[in-house]
Every structure is written in C-alpha cells, then in structure tokens.
Structure 1
Amino acid sequence: MNKIYNPLKKDWSSILKRPTQTVADIEEMVDAIFLEVKNNGDNAINAYTEKFDGVLMKNSSVTQEEIEEAANQVPKELKLAIQQAKRNIEKFHSAQRTAKVSVETSEGVHCWQEKRPIQKVGLYIPGGTAPLFSTILMLAVPANLAGCKEIVLCSPPNKEGKLHPAILYTANLCGVTNIFKVGGVQAIAGMTFGTETIPQVYKIFGPGNQFVTVAKQIATKYGIAIDMPAGPSELLVMADDSANASFVASDLLSQAEHGADSQVILVSTSKKFINEVEREVEEQIKLLPRQEIAEKSIANSKLIYVADKETAVALINEYGPEHYILCVEDESFFLDRTYNAGSVFIGNYTPESAGDYASGTNHTLPTNGFAKQYSGVNLDSFTKAITFQKISQEGIKGIGETIELMAEAEGLFAHKNAVTLRLKSLVGER
C-alpha cells in the first residue's frame, strides 16, 4: 500500500483520485453497444453476450424449471442466512415509510403529497468474479415494499449459460417478476430500450464495474432514470490507536477483494497504527482465495497519516467515501462533522461486511465521490412523490389576486386569465 504522510491540501485531489476510467474514456464504446441493441434487440444482446461472456444464448429468459432446480442446489444453511438477512432488510426499509402529508396552506386551499411506486424497475446484479445475490435483497426487497409492479433482473451468465443458484433462489424469494441471463452494457441497454424479450423499465438500479456505471449514465440520455452512479467498490477507514489493527486490515481486504479497480484507504493520526495495519494486510492477504484480485486493488490504495482529527475529517469529506468505517476514541467529533459518505460503520465491532449482507441497511451506495450529492438506495428510491391540491371557492378568492399579480408580472397573461375568469364567475360576471 502507498504510505502518505501529512499531504498538503492542494495535493488531496490527486492523492484521492479513484483508479477508474472516466465516462469520456469508454463512452464511445458504450454508445455503440446501445445503438446496436436499440436497432437489433435480442440479436445484438446475444451477440454481445457471446463476445463478452463467452457463451451463445438462444434464450436469455430464466424458466420456472431453472428456478426450482436452483432452489434445490442452495444449501439449507445458506437459505436460512438469506432469509434472516431479508427479514432485517425488510424491517429497516419498512421503517422508512412516510405517511401522507396533508396541509391547508390557506383557508380553502388544501394541498397534500403521497408516495406512489415506480411501476417498472430494472435491477442489475453483478455476477462476473462474484455472484452478488446479496444485491438482490438490497434492491428487490425495497422494490416490493414500495409496490413496484414489474421488477426485471439482469445478471451475466456463466460459461454454461446459467446463473448462480443463489441468485435465482434469492430473486424468486424476493418477488422478482422477470429474470434474464444478460450482463454488462448490453443488459443496461436492453432494459433502456426494451427488446423482444427484455421489458423496458422506467428506472435502473444496481452496482457494476466502470462499464456498467457508464452504461447507466448513458441510459439517462434516453429518458431512463437511475439510482446513482454506483461503480467499483471503495472503503475509507478512519482509525486511531483505540482501533484493532487486525480488524481494520480485514475490513480493507474485504473491499479490496471485490475487484482490481476497487480502492481502500486508511486515514489515521497514528503512524504506529498505520504500520501495524500494513503488517496485518500483508499477512491476511496471503490467506485469501481471491488474493490476486485483492493485491491489484491494494496497489491502488493508500495509508494516509494526518497530524490531527480536524485535518482528517476535512480530507474524508473531500473524498466522500462509499463505505466509511470509524474506529476512533472521539466518535462524536467525526460523526457530527460527517457530510459526505454513503454508509457509516461505527466502532470495532461493526464491520462493513455487516452492511453488505445482513444488518438491514442498504449496500447499493454512491461511489467515485458521488456521496457528496447522492444518497444510497432506500425505500424512497423506488417511489415518486406526487402532490395534489384542491381549492374551494373561498380558497381561490383568498389567493386569486396573488396569482394574478405574479402572472402579470411575468408576462403570462393566460395564466392570469385562468384565475380572473374564475373570480368573475363567483361574483356573477362574465
């Protein structure tokens, strides 16, 4: 890992740069795939699946027989684990429901707001180097709670043209309505335009590599909403001498094993602690089955020493981490000043893995600094807030002149006239 001591503020942006390509670097390729899928539908999808995933698919739809077969292949212990995680995620996201907001803003002017579900949503589930069935829980559970009618799931097939049994089991458990063996840019394009097989959706959710992230951003050019730009995973740990170096090293490696383009950062006010964590990382990484991937990620990662907690918190907010672990003696100082983070994990016994799987919070979070302006996925991500109003005769009398004056001042006389006609009708004028 790269050690950096007391970096100057002018150098923070370069030090904290993510190891990912920009939209401009790969936009041309993604655009070409989108246009191909738009014009040729399933034929284009199948061609790109063969090119990128190495399997020729005759039918990308998952059948009921495949779902039943998969359920028999998932060990009972894993099923119980998935079910417990689902219960916790349901509990936390159910608590996010908000009641109808209703108010009389003036006498006879009644305004209210209600949440309504997005009818058609698409879920992208990575399945390349790791079958992320946990992401189905994070997306399909709130989608169902919100009342989404159509939940479309796409995930890349393996070389045999199949999805991991746990992906199929979890998708079925969570009420996904359509499952397709399609991954990468072509999956996002398929859900954007719709094909002979894949339905078009209104909003696309889910993490992915940098190509999927750019594809989601391209989808917005065609009128499809997305949850957020959620690309390669990242973690920042803030720790001092009160933290456990072994725990911190394990957390850094838990994110590093996601992919070679993941990034992990340790910020500390203790040089001694930084050295301890570095030694722990070197020992623990040797035991990982995904050691080669983790090593590539670790090469992009940083151990940053700063002299005081004021500098630390400023640097952390500048980075805006997707996952933020806080293991310090003075927790309140950092928590009170945390403005930019996707999800925060506090204390020595709160690993980031808990949020990834079973504590109840959502693990679909903004990366690449987008935590400065985006929230992670939550129940409201699957709903729209619609406002309503009903104005009585007394109500239009009370606010009518205000509307007329404002409309006239803006030069919008048809707006004014829509009120004037109503006011005149109430006094018997034509």
Structure 2
Amino acid sequence: MLRTLDLRGTRPTASELLALVPRAETDVTAALAPAGRIIDEVREHGEQALLDQAERFDGVRPATVRVPAEQLRDALVALDPEVRAAVESTIARVREASMAQVPVPVVTVLAPGAVVEQRWQPVDRVGLYVPGGKAVYPSSVVMNVVPAQAAGVRSIALASPPQSDHDGRIHPTIAAVAALLGVDEVYAMGGAGAIGAFAYGVPDLGLEPVQRVTGPGNVFVAAAKRLVAGVTGIDAEAGPTDILVIADAGADPDFVAADLVSQAEHDELAASVLVTDSVELAEAVMARLEVRVAATKHGERVRQAITGPQSALVLVDDLEQAAAFTNAFGPEHLEIQVVDADAVLAGIDNAGAIFIGPHSPVSLGDYAAGSNHVLPTGGTARHVAGLSAATFLRPQQVVRYDESALREVAPVVAALSAEEDLPAHGEAVTARFER
C-alpha cells in the first residue's frame, strides 16, 4: 500500500536526502495570483466582497459577516455537555502547558550601572483562523486562542468559514468554543479573504488590522499568508498534515498502522511515512494497514493519501539513518516507537511535535496531551516552530546605563564608530561628557 523507499546499503548526504523525501504535490506559488485577487477584493470592497466570496466559495451567503453575540451565547448553551467537558479538559491542559512557554524577564548586570533587561512583550491584537472544509475543528479554536491568552494578547479576533449546512453561520461548535474562551469578536469568513481582512482590516465591519495571523488552512490560506507577511506577522504557511513514525522490530504493527491512518484521514494529500530498520515490522504494518483502511469511515480518503507520492515506507540500515532521514523530512508529527527512544530522540533536530512510546499517539496531541496541534507542515519544521505562547511574544531589550557605566564603554563606542565612518555615533556619547 505504501510505496517503498529502500535506503539500505547507502549513506545519502543531507542534500541527497532532501531530494529523496516524499512530498505532496501542492504548489503555494500557483495559488498566489488568485489569492492576491481575493485579498484585493476585500481591500477595495470590504464586507460586500467577503459576502460575495462566501457565496462563491462556500456556497452560502451569511446574513452578516460579524457573528452576533447572541449566536455565540446560544451555541454555548446548546453545546453537548460531553463535548463541553472534553473541550474544558483540553483548555485546561493546553493553558497549563502554554503558560510554561512564557519566558520570565531576565536582568543582566554587565557592570555597576550597566544593565540590559530582556522582556517579552505580547502583540496587542491577533487574528486566528479556524478552517472548515472536510471536518469541524473546535480543537483548533483552543489551540489558537489559549496560547494567545497565555501570552497576554489583549485583542483576539477569530474567523471561520460560513457553513451552508448552518444557514451561513459558522459551525455552532466553533461558535460555542469561542464563547467558552471569552472570544466575542468572531467573523463568518474563510480562505484568502479572511487572511486579507485580518491583515488590512475592514472599516465597514469595524474590523481593525491585526499584528499576527495564525491557524491552519488550505493552499489559498497559505498563499494569502505569504502575501500579507510584509504587512502582518504570520505563524507559518500550513499545508496538508503529515506523520512520520520511526519504529523498530519491537513496535506494535497495529499501533503503527492505526497512527498512519489517523493522519491520512485528514486529507487526500496528507502524508503518512514509516521509517524502520525491520523488514518484518514493515510487512506486518502493511498487512494491518489493509485491514484498518478497509474498516475506517473515511477509507477512500485514507487510501488516496497513503498511496500518494507524499507517503512511503522507508527501509534503513539502522536508527541513526532513520534519524538522518527524519531530519531531512522535517515532520509535522514524529512518533518514535523503538526500544531505546531516548537514543533516537538525541539525534532528532527537526520536528514540529514529538510523541514518544507506544502510548503517545499523535491524536493524543491533537486533543488532550496539552501540547499544541498547530504545527509546521511540508518540511517547514526544518526552520519553523509550532504554535505556542512564544508565537505571540516579541523579545525586547531594555538598556539602562548610568553616567559612570557609559563613561567606561565610551572608548569602545568611539573606536567602532570611527572604524565604520559613523563619527556622529561616537559624538552622541562624548557629548554627554563635554559639559
């Protein structure tokens, strides 16, 4: 079912591994032009453009783009108690883990009277995107909102596409979770238009521009994020999800198969990759995949994902080679199901989130682990971190020098400013001692 990439007996270089890793056939650059036109429509025509786009792309025209407060309250009242309890549990866990991500201020005394303070300042306003599409994602509301709140963001706006099944309203579960988290600025808008609205604002909606946009979405959302990145901050260009499992002969093949299927369930372009040094384990996983794909609700979607070019069985000589391949792949989700997991973990540099052992499946992280599930996809974990409280914080250095401390370093400033032919820099220091 999974195509095989056999690396045994080889030792590819880092660049060769990058060329070998399987990828989904998506091209954000191809979506830039249409996404740009959609953003321009919103900039020129405001709410009217968002309503027209909803009708065009979502098949429904919402009564209003701004979700009325009573809709949020009513959705929360109507929320299934079991679902509410699960959401509240997830909120508590994610909040505790997110609070731990906020760095404490640090004061460094370099000399008497010479102090540099490191502080972490939250952005003032953010726009959080929760996709629609093939599923409803109340968990993504939690994963976006809670870290922003933990970071101290004052103003939070949330957008989710209007649903034709709900008369143009956002999905009621999304609305309910927003209300549960105290977010009352919610918009029924989706895709590139929503990203453009956040970045530039929509005056006739009373929607003010934001300083950072976060949240997953389709290729047009990713393209829109790239286009507005010079205007507002973004978390990452999220694309189809992926999972990579490193497993040895001691792994349970059914657990591995179940986890590969769980992420393939998201999208036909989702990537499921198994890296192993055991042919016997690989064969057993393949057999269990057949059974699980046939039995799961979204089996056809899963089959397309697992048989696509982005998914693979990778055979390696040893777990050191498994780690090297993983670092080249840069998985969004990495599972390590081997006897000595810590030894493998020590060789891992690039991954969005890492799940250790047979009882830490990726789906745990999607909902209840306390970690965040908004993670870098498409290999971007090689240079981008997942969403956290830090996403909404900016490090700032506060400098406090008194006269004697400045006098001590004045020769340093003078020498370097002269070397760089910027004499006024030095003069700004010496001026303080000329009186």
Cα distance, 1:238 vs structure 2: 0.6
Name the counterpart of 2:4: 3
Name the counterpart of 1:293: 301
Are the aligned partners of 1:120 and 1:148 in contact in 2 as well (CA < 8 Å)?
A: yes
Are the aligned partners of 1:20 and 1:210 in contact in 2 as well (CA < 8 Å)?
A: no
Cα distance, 1:175 vs structure 2: 2.4
User: Match of 2:434, SS?
Assistant: helix
Name the counterpart of 1:206: 215
Looking at structure 2, the residues matched to 14 and 253 of structure 1 have their Cα atoms a distance apart, in angstroms, of 25
Are the aligned partners of 1:107 and 1:398 in contact in 2 as well (CA < 8 Å)?
A: no
Matched, 1:175 2:182: yes
Name the counterpart of 1:322: 332
CA deviation string 1:241-283 (max 9, x = no partner) = 1111111111111100111111110111111111111111111
Cα distance, 1:14 vs structure 2: 4.4
CA deviation string 1:127-147 (max 9, x = no partner) = 111111101111111111111
Q: TM-score, normalised by structure 1?
A: 0.95
Name the counterpart of 2:260: 252
Are the aligned partners of 1:227 and 1:377 in contact in 2 as well (CA < 8 Å)?
A: yes
User: Match of 1:364, SS?
Assistant: coil
Identity %: 32
Matched, 1:54 2:63: no
Moved more, 18-27 or 326-335: 18-27
Are the aligned partners of 2:245 and 2:336 in contact in 1 as well (CA < 8 Å)?
A: yes
Looking at structure 2, the residues matched to 403 and 6 of structure 1 have their Cα atoms a distance apart, in angstroms, of 55
Name the counterpart of 1:346: 356
Cα distance, 1:65 vs structure 2: 1.6
Counterpart code for 2:4: K
2:285 to 277, 289, 292: 277
Matched, 1:217 2:222: no
Counterpart code for 2:269: D
1:362 to 358, 368, 372: 372
Name the counterpart of 1:383: 393
User: Match of 1:122, SS?
Assistant: strand
User: Match of 2:149, SS?
Assistant: helix
Matching of residues 3-402 of structure 1 within 5 Å:
3-6=4-7, 9=12, 12-159=17-164, 160-195=167-202, 196-197=204-205, 198-221=207-230, 223-300=231-308, 301-402=311-412
Name the counterpart of 1:428: none
User: Match of 1:242, SS?
Assistant: coil
Matched, 1:417 2:427: yes
Moved more, 49-58 or 2-11: 2-11
CA deviation string 1:305-331 (max 9, x = no partner) = 112222211111110101000001121
Looking at structure 2, the residues matched to 154 and 295 of structure 1 have their Cα atoms a distance apart, in angstroms, of 31
The runs of 5 or more residues in structure 1 that have no matched partner are 426-430
User: Match of 1:295, SS?
Assistant: helix
CA deviation string 1:78-105 (max 9, x = no partner) = 1111111111111111122322111221
Are the aligned partners of 2:72 and 2:184 in contact in 1 as well (CA < 8 Å)?
A: no
Q: TM-score, normalised by structure 2?
A: 0.94
Are the aligned partners of 1:4 and 1:302 in contact in 2 as well (CA < 8 Å)?
A: yes
Looking at structure 1, the residues matched to 300 and 209 of structure 2 have their Cα atoms a distance apart, in angstroms, of 38
Cα distance, 1:176 vs structure 2: 1.9
Are the aligned partners of 2:63 and 2:168 in contact in 1 as well (CA < 8 Å)?
A: no
